[in-house]
Chain A
Amino acid sequence: MHLLRVENLSVSYLTESGEVPIVDRMSIKMGMGEILGVVGESGSGKSMMALAIMGLLSPKMRMRADYINLDGEDLMKMSVEDRAAYVASKAAIIFQEPQASLNPCFSIASQLDETIAFHGGGGRADRKTKALELLDDVGINRPDLVLKMYPHQLSGGMNQRVAIAMALACEPRLLIADEPTTALDVTIQSQIIELLVKLSRAQQSGLMLITHDFALLSENTDRIGVVYSGQLMEHAATENILSSPHHPYTKALLDSIPQLGDRHVKGSRLFALDGNIPAIDQLPVGCRLGPRCPKAERQCVNTPELRSIENYGKVRCHLASVSSVNKAEADS
């Protein structure tokens, strides 16, 4: 049974001159307790997808989907109120800017307490004990002190821990972390990611880790989805993607990160995709990577569909099956 199944989720932005699609027919599956990494560049729609699942899109956005099945119930069939309550009980989300995602006018205690109370946290004393426990769970040294503080008195890393504690207060089956460490320092980053992974494994809850940093996903995730320009380009197990990426975009992303031991040698260059990420209202015809793709062929002006490839996963590329066949031939 799946924790999350999203089929053909589209999100568009309403303007005076019509709808601008931001997310295009995204389909994603997550098993119980699975850690899914979603990687993509800014504006690729990866955050919009998360907000759409959580029902947090701004009023100017429209979403459509065949179904969004979260822990056995289809969100698309619920009324707005039911849906909000159901999602809040099953899923939680943390954002990129920990400072901004906590209310600056309330103490940590009152924000945590509010959440615990709303999710049926019992009496005042019980709630306080629960709050202390939660802060302890996320590795905060002196929970009693932190409870009395306000977000601006805490560092970014601490605030992110508090945000995680608040998300855990809902006892979610699914935790979505939208660029949780981008605003943090390297050493703090790894602590937060480790914490998220540890909590997810301990509670057998799903974790969706959204980031632009491939390296971050390589160690921690079970499966990875690669998003480009609003479309899911590749969706497969982490080791598959890392060892033999099928989509040229994924390959380019992996190649454009300097490799270990790759030292300054005159004339050596990194692999880099040409050109710029297309503006969302000026998408190319056919494959959205087309004009930048080093392997583009004539057939790439036709829009590729997301196709399953045996023993691998799903890929949106005309050339993917060919190359995998070639690979199979070579193996035999």
Chain B
Amino acid sequence: MSFSFCQFGKQSGGRLLSLLEAKNICRKYRVRSYNLGQSGMLEAIKNISFALEKGETLAIVGESGSGKSTLARQIIGIEKPTRGDIFFENERLEFANKKHRKNRFRNIRMIFQNPYESLNPQARIGKILDDVLSINTDLNPKQRKQKIESTLSRVGLLPEHRHRYPHMFSGGQRQRVAIARAIILDPKVIIADEPLSALDVSIQAQILNLLQELQEEMGMSYLFISHDLNVVEHIADHVLVMYQGEVVESGSVSQVFDRPVHPYTQSLFASTPMYRKRFPNFQKPRDKKIKNVKKGACCFAERCPYSEQRCQVEHPDLITKEDSSRVACFKNEN
């Protein structure tokens, strides 16, 4: 699916919307301090906007603490964003609305990072999958059994595996179970939060292939969260680079992987052995942080190799360029 497809997409209230859209999502957490009476707000993600088209993959890249998992929690509906709207199929999703929730839970499914922790250790696989169906569909037990068996085969497991408990599977098989649980309702969007990072190298490729296969067969969209640049380049159509809760750069995979502009994106490439050859001139982040950077300044100013006076005081806007890619850096403005 190309980006242009959405230009002719459904129209709602005079606006064109993608399958899933997030607008200015913020999430603050109250941080309770050990000192009584003192409590602060931690802004885990700030003003995140993105659009996900049907059948496409949007990858969210960032290190730990960049807020990418927090973002996933807002989109999936576990938490209510402090501010901002989420649109799904041209409809604004309300957090508390029961119908919206049911619809959201059915159509946006999640694959967790650690497949062992996301499966109830006391339940057989068949029971876990059966629960999903009995809650969300009107299928009778026989139909449910058929659906479970066909889904298990689809992710490369055997129908008999439904009698097993999670601990009887290897890591890769467990992630297949998690994928089966995500696709069994034929969802439109799948959020995959670091689905490969708990797996062995030779298994990662299997799961990655499986995800691509399923996407091509079922036409699902992926929100693919990862820190692994190779994998992102391989699977993504669009990329969103996050640092400390903010989007620093976004664009199509070719924009971000061929002509990265933001110093943070560049430093990510410079830190990854495989990409160092492609971008020999990119600088790594500073070893020693710059002190006295003002609060509210550019989020990367402390470690940015090009950090100037202005960066340490002001915050750059996320500017959309002609090719619809976005960058938040003063260097780019000029």
Tell whether any CB of A sits under 8 Å from a CB of B in the complex: yes
Residues of A within 8 A of B (CB): 41-42, 139, 141, 185-187, 189-191, 212-216, 218-220, 252-253, 256-264, 266-274, 276-277, 292
How far is it, in angstroms, between the C-alpha of A115 and the C-alpha of B209 when the chains are bound?
Answer: 49
1/0 contact string of B239-278 vs chain A (CB within 8 Å): 0000000000000011001000000000110111111111
Cβ contact within 8 Å between B234 and A258: yes
When distances are taken between beta carbons in the complex, the residues of chain B under 8 Å from A189 are 271
Contact of B200 among A42, A191, A214 (CB under 8 A): A42
Contact A212 B201 (CB under 8 A): yes
Contacts A/B (CB < 8 Å), 14 sampled? A185-B227, A186-B63, A186-B227, A187-B284, A190-B273, A212-B200, A213-B201, A215-B230, A252-B202, A256-B204, A260-B278, A264-B235, A264-B253, A272-B208
The 7 closest A-B pairs by CB, nearest first: A258-B234, A256-B205, A272-B205, A190-B271, A185-B63, A41-B200, A270-B205
- Which residue of A191, A212, A260, A261 is within 8 Å of B287 (Cβ)? A191
Per-residue 0/1 for B218-229: is the Cβ within 8 Å of any A Cβ (1 yes, 0 no)?
000000000101
Taking the nearest CB of chain B, how far is it from the CB of A140, in angstroms?
9
Which residues of chain B have C-beta atoms less than 8 A from A41's C-beta?
Answer: 200-202
Query: Given A191-B284, A264-B57, do A272 and B209 touch, yes or no (CB 8 Å)?
Result: yes
Known contacts A187-B268, A253-B202: A267-B233 contact under CB 8 Å? no
CB of B93 within 8 Å of the partner chain: no
A187 & B209 in contact (Cβ 8 Å cutoff): no
B237 to chain A, nearest CB (A): 6
Known contacts A186-B268, A270-B209, A276-B173; is-contact A260 B200 (Cβ 8 Å) = no
What A residues does B172 contact at CB under 8 A? 276
**Minimum C-beta distance from B218 to chain A (A):** 13
Chain B 117-133 per-residue mask, 1 if CB under 8 angstroms from chain A, else 0: 00000000000000000
Report the interface size for chain B: residues with CB under 8 A from the other chain: 46
Q: Is B78 an interface residue (CB 8 A)?
A: no
Q: B201 contacts which chain A residues (CB < 8 A)?
A: 41, 212-214, 253, 256-257
**Interface SS of B by simple majority:** helix
Chain B residues with CB under 8 Å of A42's CB are 200
B253 A263 Cβ-Cβ under 8 A: yes
Report the separation of the CA atoms of residues A261 and B285 in the bound assembly, to the nearest whole angstrom.
24
Instruction: Indicate if the CB atoms of A260 and B202 lie closer than 8 Å.
Output: no
Q: Which residues of A contact B274 (CB under 8 A)?
A: 215, 218, 257, 260
> In the complex, what's the smallest C-beta–C-beta distance from A80 to chain B, in angstroms?
34
* Cβ B231 vs Cβ A277 within 8 A: no
Contacts of B273 in A (CB 8 A): 190, 215-216, 218-220
Separation of A154 and B315 alpha carbons in the complex (Å): 28
Q: List the B side residues contacting A263 at CB < 8 Å.
A: 233-234, 253-254, 257
Question: CA separation between A277 and B289, bound complex, in Å?
Answer: 42
Q: What B residues does A185 contact at CB under 8 A?
A: 63-64, 227
Which residues of B sit under 8 angstroms from A270, Cβ to Cβ?
A: 205, 208-209, 234
User: Is A272 a contact of B63 with CB atoms below 8 Å?
Assistant: no
Cα of A257 to Cα of B230 in the assembled complex, Å: 7
Which chain A residues border B235 with CB–CB below 8 Å? 264
What's the dominant secondary structure at chain A's contact region? loop
Residues of B within 8 Å of A252, CB to CB, are 202
Cβ-based interface call for B206 (8 A): yes
Asked if B288 is an interface residue, CB under 8 A from chain A, the answer is yes
Chain A residues closer than 8 Å to B216, beta-carbon distance: 266-267
Interface: B16 (CB within 8 A): no
Q: A189-B271, A263-B253 are in contact. Are A258 and B200 (CB under 8 A)?
A: no
Residues in B with CB closer than 8 Å to A262 are 230, 233-234
The 8 A CB mask of B183-222 against A (1 = contact, 0 = none) is 0000000000000000011111110110011001000000
Does B318 sit at the interface, judged by CB under 8 A? no
Q: How far is B233's CA from A41's CA once the two chains are assembled, in angstroms? A: 23
B236 at the interface (CB under 8 A from A): yes
Would you call B170 an interface residue if the criterion is a C-beta within 8 Å of the partner chain's C-beta atoms?
A: yes
Query: Contact at B233–A258, with CB atoms within 8 Å?
Result: yes
CB nearest to B55 among chain A residues: A266
Complex-state Cα separation, A270 to B207, whole angstroms: 10
Q: With the chains together, A141 CA to B288 CA distance in Å?
A: 6
Contact of B203 among A219, A257, A259, A276 (CB under 8 A): A276
Are A260 and B275 neighbours in the complex by a CB distance under 8 Å?
yes
Residue of B nearest to A214 (CB): B201
A269–B205 Cα distance when bound, in Å, is: 9
Q: Would you give the shortest CB distance from B29 to chain A, in whole angstroms? A: 20
Partner pick for A258 among B203, B231, B289, CB 8 A cutoff: B231
Report the separation of the CA atoms of residues A30 and B204 in the bound assembly, to the nearest whole angstrom: 31
- Nearest CB of A to B194, in Å: 13
**Complex contact A272–B287 (CB within 8 A):** no
A264 near B236: Cβ-Cβ < 8 Å? yes
How far is the CB of B212 from the nearest CB of chain A, in Å? 7
**B270: chain A residues within 8 A (beta carbon):** 190
| Smallest CB separation, B174 vs chain A (Å) | 11
Q: B205 contacts which chain A residues (CB < 8 A)?
A: 256-257, 270-273
Q: Tell me whether B271 and A186 are in contact (CB under 8 A).
A: yes
A214 to B230, CA, bound (A): 12
Distance in Å: Cβ of B245 to nearest Cβ of chain A: 15
B233 proximity list for chain A (CB < 8 A): 258, 260-263
Q: Are A264 and B170 in contact (CB under 8 A)?
A: no
Within 8 A of A (CB), among B52-83: 57, 63-64
Q: Which residues of A contact B57 (CB under 8 A)?
A: 264
Known: A186-B268, A212-B200. 10 other contacts (CB 8 A): A42-B200, A186-B272, A219-B276, A253-B202, A257-B201, A258-B231, A258-B233, A260-B233, A263-B234, A264-B237
